[in-house]
Amino acid sequence: MNHLLTGKVGRLAVSVVLATALAAGAATLEENVKAMQATNAEAGAAQKNIINLQHETQSMMEEYKRLTQTVDYQDQYTQEITDRLAVQDKELASLREQLASRQITQQRIVPLMRSMGDALEQFVALDLPFHQEERLARVIKVKQQLSSTSIPLQDQYRALLEAFQQELEFGRGIEAWRGELKLGEENLTVEYLRLGRTAFYFQSMDGARSGYWDRAYKQWVEVPREYSEDIKHGLRIARNQQAPQLLALPMKR
């Protein structure tokens, strides 16, 4: 009986110990599972942090590249502006030199042009008296332009050259026209004949009176009627009414 009891007690003790051991093992296993879960959670969080850090790092790299490119572009733009400014400085210096040279040229050429205007006026006044009022009016207008401060220098120069050119043209051809002539106390309607600047003639409408301009005495001198026909031929040639030919026209030596 005692042996049986002892045996039961022993088995009971073993069962208790085994149960205790199992309970302890289960508790350890649960703790281990929890520990693993906690570790996995921490690992997941760490992995998430790593991914976030990678994204942040990538964003920072892209921003760095962008900023680097922006800096490079800014450097290129700054260099381009610097080069342009250098070119503009050279151009400005050149313009200043040109302006200074132009001012010097203007100081020299303005008196020369005015002197040329005076010489042209004197030339017209002393020349053969054909279209004299018209020519003098043109010269006076040019001289007024030369004295004006509102007219550019190139326009003044152009007007002066045109006036000289017009006077040069008068010396290259012959011309005939009708006009009024005061001869002594008489007023006549005559035909004028101009041979360049070499000679200047007149003939009355009826052909009875003819003459030439005497440069030395600055007056009209009548010629014998024997020259009337030649002067008449000269008038026809000037009007393209007759072929050119040699004429025996009076001319003072």
Q: 136 and 152 share a domain?
A: yes
Would you say residue 26 lies in a domain? no
Q: Specify if 123 maps to a domain.
A: yes
Claim to verify: residue 159 and residue 190 sit in the same structural domain: no
Residue 10 lies in a domain: no
Mean pLDDT confidence for 215-229? 92
196 and 149 part of one domain: no
Asked if residue 252 and residue 179 are part of one domain, the reply reads yes
Local structure of 239: helix, strand or coil: coil
Q: Is residue 196 situated within a structural domain?
A: yes
> Do 150 and 179 reside in the same domain of the chain?
no
Q: Are residues 165 and 117 in the same domain?
A: yes
Residues 107-155: tens digit of each pLDDT: 788 888 899 999 999 999 999 999 999 999 999 999 999 999 899 888 9
How many structural domains does the chain have? 2
Q: Are residues 143 and 202 in the same domain?
A: no
> Does residue 177 share a domain with residue 253?
yes
Q: Compute the distance between CA of residue 217 and CA of residue 211 in angstroms, rounded to an integer.
A: 14
Last residue of a domain, one of 139, 170, 201: 170
Average pLDDT of span 202-228: 93
Instruction: Give yes or no for a contact between 237 and 243, defined as CB atoms under 8 angstroms apart.
Output: yes
pLDDT of residue 14: 44
Residues 177/190, Cβ–Cβ less than 8 Å: no
The number of angstroms, rounded, from the C-alpha of 86 to the middle of its chain's C-alpha atoms is 20
The last residue of one of the domains, among 170, 190, 205, is 170
Residues 181 and 253 in one domain: yes
Please report the pLDDT score of residue 145 as a whole number: 94
Same domain, 133 and 181: no
pLDDT tens-digit map of 96-110:
777 677 777 677 888
pLDDT band at 18 (very low <50, low <70, confident <90, very high): very low
Q: Does the pLDDT at position 224 exceed 90?
A: yes
Question: What tokens does 165 get?
Answer: 């050119």
Domain final position from 170, 198, 214: 170
| 165 and 201 housed in the same domain | no
Q: Are residues 143 and 198 in the same domain?
A: no
Burial class from Cβ neighbours inside 10 Å (0-12, 13-18, 19+) for residue 131 reads middle
In-domain check, residue 2: no
C-beta pairs of 164-168 under 8 Å, 24+ apart in sequence: 164/116, 164/120, 166/135, 166/138, 167/120, 167/123, 167/124, 167/135
Assigned domain for 245 exists: yes
Is 22 inside a domain boundary? no
Q: Domain limits at 106?
A: 90-170
- Tell me, yes or no, whether 28 lies in a domain: no
